[in-house]
Amino acid sequence: MACGSPTDTSTGDPPVVAEADTGTAASDPDGGTEPADTGAATGEDSATGEDSATGEDTAKADSGMTTPETGDDAKPGCALPPKDCSGTPTYCGELVPFEPVKGIGYDNYPLNGETLSNQYRSYARRDLMILVKYAAAYVECYGKSWTPGNGAPIGLGDMSEKNGAIPGTSVGSPGHPAGTHTNGNDMDIAYFQTAGTNNYLRAVCPHTSGGVDQYHCVGAPTILDVKRTALFLGAFLLSDRTRIIGVDGKVGPLVIPEMQKLCDAGTLPKLACDRKSMVTYETTDTGRGWYKFHHHHLHISLKKLAADWSPGPSEMFSPESSATPFELERLEHGHVLGHAHVE
């Protein structure tokens, strides 16, 4: 899908398109217009401003959509959908079905027992849905010509059920630990991949030892599209609403330095890298809940709804549940679809 036509009429959200051709604004991924970003706005602006803007200006089309013409780190003017929901916490926190199921750079395909006509595990807070659409469009446009990578849209996994319950609850098999994937706060999302023809949730690394599944990467990722994944994560960090994003312990050490490169090149605003500690992982099991079951997906969690997004993030997978390790074990042994097993 072309990335110059982001629309979102199904949810009543305004089809906001970043200004297409207003000088440097079009090359500033964050637009720099939101009060919430004031603290970092100077950094972002200088990050884009200190670059020689002439090359990109001449390449810019009126539509705001261009293709990188000078290699990996060219910065096309990208017309992106909105990053954050504007409205009251009640409005932005409303659970909505993630629709349309296919959009710019993403595919909310049916999984874990869903069907095309019954995506019962795919309800998210409106602000989370908006942010995911933004991050997916960001990769679709800015990473368009990058290699390697299969170029497919990113696959979206479990969210919440319509009433805010953990996915699987309505069929008697909640698939995630208590305190996660409730009320549309969290979403499982695939990694971008270098092999195959889609970016659905699947392991991106070897994860068995002695023939036994370890449920985490035991070796270097083999099909991880490091650069697009880093760009995707960085786009999420541009929102003040992002609490934490968890990845596998062998994915984190690859994507975080890559994200820094993207910031240094101006493909991501400096703000993303100022917040890079919000992408978290465990190389050993320290009990924070990230060590296992993130070899086939990343997990993004938003802060609780608030008018002010300032409260610091918790680094826990499930900040309000002390039973997480026990629950993860139960899900693993029971082969419950969701967090531990995806299909």
CB 27 within 8 A of CB 53: yes
Bridge-based pairing of strands 298-302 and 154-155 is: unpaired
Q: Is 294 in the site for Zn ion (CB under 5 A)?
A: no
Closest approach, Cβ 181 to Zn ion, in A, equals 6
Closest approach, Cβ 97 to Zn ion, in A, equals 18
- 210-269 residues near Zn ion, rule: CB under 5 A: none
- Choose between 188 and 240: whose C-beta lies nearer to Zn ion: 188
Bridge-based pairing of strands 186-189 and 298-302 is: antiparallel
Closest approach, Cβ 232 to Zn ion, in A, equals 16
- Choose between 270 and 299: whose C-beta lies nearer to Zn ion: 299
- Choose between 60 and 295: whose C-beta lies nearer to Zn ion: 295
Residues in the interface with Zn ion (CB under 5 A) total: 2
Closest approach, Cβ 103 to Zn ion, in A, equals 21
- Choose between 82 and 177: whose C-beta lies nearer to Zn ion: 177
**Within 13 A of 204's CA, how many CA atoms are on the CB side?**
31
CA distances from 288 to 9, 34, 204, 315 (A): 39, 33, 22, 7
What is the DSSP track for 78-145?
Answer: -----SS--S-HHHHT-EEE--SSEETTEE----TT-BTTB-TT-EEEHHHHHHHHHHHHHHHHHTTT
Q: Is 299 in the site for Zn ion (CB under 5 A)?
A: yes
Closest approach, Cβ 73 to Zn ion, in A, equals 32
* Residue 124 one-letter amino acid: A
- Choose between 185 and 267: whose C-beta lies nearer to Zn ion: 185
- Choose between 187 and 259: whose C-beta lies nearer to Zn ion: 187
Closest approach, Cβ 98 to Zn ion, in A, equals 14
Window contacting Zn ion (CB under 5 A); options: 48-56, 95-103, 182-190, 282-290: 182-190
Closest approach, Cβ 162 to Zn ion, in A, equals 18
Closest approach, Cβ 159 to Zn ion, in A, equals 9
- Choose between 227 and 295: whose C-beta lies nearer to Zn ion: 295
Q: Nearest to Zn ion by Cβ — which residue?
A: 299
Q: Residue from 140, 188, 225, 258 that binds Zn ion (CB under 5 A)?
A: 188
Closest approach, Cβ 246 to Zn ion, in A, equals 8
- Choose between 66 and 318: whose C-beta lies nearer to Zn ion: 318
- Choose between 76 and 157: whose C-beta lies nearer to Zn ion: 157
CB 215 within 8 A of CB 295: yes
Window contacting Zn ion (CB under 5 A); options: 15-23, 285-293, 294-302, 323-331: 294-302
Evaluate the CA torsion angle 265, 74, 222, 235 in order and state its sign.
positive
- Count, residues in the chain: 343
Q: How many helices (H) and strands (E) does the chain have?
A: 8, 11
Window contacting Zn ion (CB under 5 A); options: 57-65, 188-196, 215-223, 308-316: 188-196
**Within 13 A of 129's CA, how many CA atoms are on the CB side?**
30
H/E run at residue 280: strand 279-280
Rg (CA), the chain: 19
Strand partners, 96: 124
Window contacting Zn ion (CB under 5 A); options: 160-168, 181-189, 210-218, 235-243: 181-189
In whole angstroms, give the CA distance from residue 27 to residue 19.
Answer: 9
Which residues bind to Zn ion, rule: CB under 5 A? 188, 299
